[in-house]
Amino acid sequence: MWDIGFVYRHIPKLFGALAFIVNPIFVYLIFTEKSTKFGNYKYLLLYFASFNLVYSVANVVVPIDIHSHRYCFYLFISDGLFFGQSDWHLHMLSARCALVSASYAVLLSHFIYRYLALHNSELTNDKFHTYMTISFGIFCVYFVVWHASCFYLGGANLEIKEYIRTDFRDFYRMDSMDMNMISCLYREGTDHTLLRSWSTTILWTSISAISICMFLMLACMIMKKLNKMSSCMSKKTSTLQLELLRALIIQTVIPIFVSFFPCVISFIIPIFDLDLGRPINYVEVIALGAFAFCDPVAIVLCLPVFRQRVLCQKKKPKKKQNTEINMMSTIAS
């Protein structure tokens, strides 16, 4: 087996270990916070933290490598228990890739919840279990669609394996025919192979684009609703809602830039026969495992109530309290 580099091999494992440290702390902070009433939203955050842990396990157990050659990109399991060619290993590789798409559903469920909560929907109160069932259903749809498309690409790509065979042998010192791969070929192939590659790439890009558009649309609708309600809400409630929305936006931006964009780059660059070298592949693979650790950290630092607890900061006394203290000091003197 080839040497894929110490840093490249162990940084995803490091992120996985950090995710298992940070996410339980994140859950502990949520369920022990008394000064702020999160309501049922804390269970949605628990759902998010649980997904991060599952994602981190998959990132370590099913490590992947990404590479490109001319008009083709491919990824495969680079090490571990599922290394080598097997239908079961191909399912594991497809599921590993599907988790990246499924994270869209997890983030989408947060935006929908915040919007429904502002409208006092029963789905966020008495019928919260119904909302969680719907959220998990959306998650399953994303997962199944992405898994099926990945397995569709990896199940019959002998032509692509032959296309990259020389390059794969020169780079990895192995035969591409002996590996399970998910790959796309955009030119220099038969019509059937090109159709499979282009149709799947369009599907992936559409899912990503539609999801991001929905994030932006719901964020705008939430902001408009908050502006309308600002006059009838207490300052404390209004501040909390804005902080939660800000945390949600950060929670969404991080995976988009840290994980999703590297994925898009990996299967878009070969269309133009561009070669950015191995460093970009290292960045892509490492970034895929980063957001499960980075996201909860960003949320904790974004919400003052959590940030103060983690950094052991004391709450600043209110101005009214300071005035009363000064008056008492003046009287005493």
3-state DSSP percent of the chain in helix, strand and coil, to 5? 75, 5, 20
pLDDT score, position 26? 87
The rounded distance, in Å, linking the Cα atoms of 68 and 73 is 4
Where residue 137 falls among pLDDT bands split at 50, 70, 90? very high
Q: Does 142 have pLDDT greater than 90?
A: yes
Q: What local confidence, expressed as pLDDT, does residue 131 receive? A: 92
| pLDDT value of residue 134 | 92
Question: Is residue 111 included in any domain, yes or no?
Answer: yes
In a domain, 206, yes or no: yes
Query: Is residue 1 assigned to a domain?
Result: no
Per-range mean pLDDT, top range of 124-133, 220-229, 305-314: 124-133
What's the whole-number mean pLDDT along residues 14-24?
A: 88
The number of folded domains in the chain is 1
Q: Return d(Cα 13, Cα 285) in angstroms, integer.
A: 12
Tell me the per-residue pLDDT of 107-127, one tens digit each, with 9 for 90 and over: 899 889 988 988 888 888 888
Beta strands in the chain (DSSP E): 64-69, 72-77, 182-185
**Under a CB-based contact definition with an 8 Å cutoff, are residues 139 and 101 in contact?**
no
pLDDT band for position 242 (cuts 50, 70, 90): confident
Q: Look up tokens 């970034």; give the residue.
A: 287
Residue 53 counted as domain residue: yes
% of the chain surpassing 90 pLDDT: 11
pLDDT at 135 over 50: yes
* pLDDT score for 36: 57
Which domain covers residue 95, as residue numbers? 6-332
Write the pLDDT tens digit of every residue in 258-282.
767 777 777 788 888 877 767 777 7
Cα four-point dihedral sign 192, 197, 198, 204: positive
Give the per-residue pLDDT at 144: 92
Q: Regarding predicted confidence, which is higher, 44 or 249?
A: 44
Check whether 6 has a pLDDT greater than 70. no
Judge whether 18 lies within some domain.
yes
* Residue 163 placed within a domain: yes
- Residue 321 confidence (pLDDT) above 60: no
Burial label for 10, CB within 10 Å (0-12, 13-18, 19+), is: exposed
* 234 within some domain: yes
The sign of the CA dihedral 270, 274, 275, 280 is negative
pLDDT band at 158 (very low <50, low <70, confident <90, very high): confident
Choose among 27, 15, 22: nearest CA to 56: 15
Question: Average of pLDDT values for 293-300?
Answer: 84
Q: Assess if residue 133 is contained within a domain.
A: yes
In which band, very low, low, confident or very high, does the pLDDT at 132 lie, cut at 50, 70 and 90?
very high
Q: Is 96 exposed, middle or buried (0-12, 13-18, 19+ CB in 10 A)?
A: buried
pLDDT in the model for residue 186:
92
62 backbone φψ class: left, alpha, beta (φ>0; ψ -120 to 50):
beta
User: How many CA within 13 A on the CB side of residue 221?
Assistant: 15
Q: What is the mean pLDDT of residues 131-146?
A: 92
Residue 255 has pLDDT above 60, yes or no: yes
Band of pLDDT at residue 317, cut at 50, 70 and 90 = low
- Locate 295 and state its tokens: 């996201």
- As a whole number, mean pLDDT of residues 241-263 equals 75
Helix (H, G, I), strand (E, B) or coil at 66: strand
* 72 or 252, greater pLDDT: 72
Nearest to 160 by CA among 128, 129, 180, 184: 184
233 vs 271 pLDDT, higher one: 271
CATH label of the domain that carries residue 187 = 1.20.1070.10
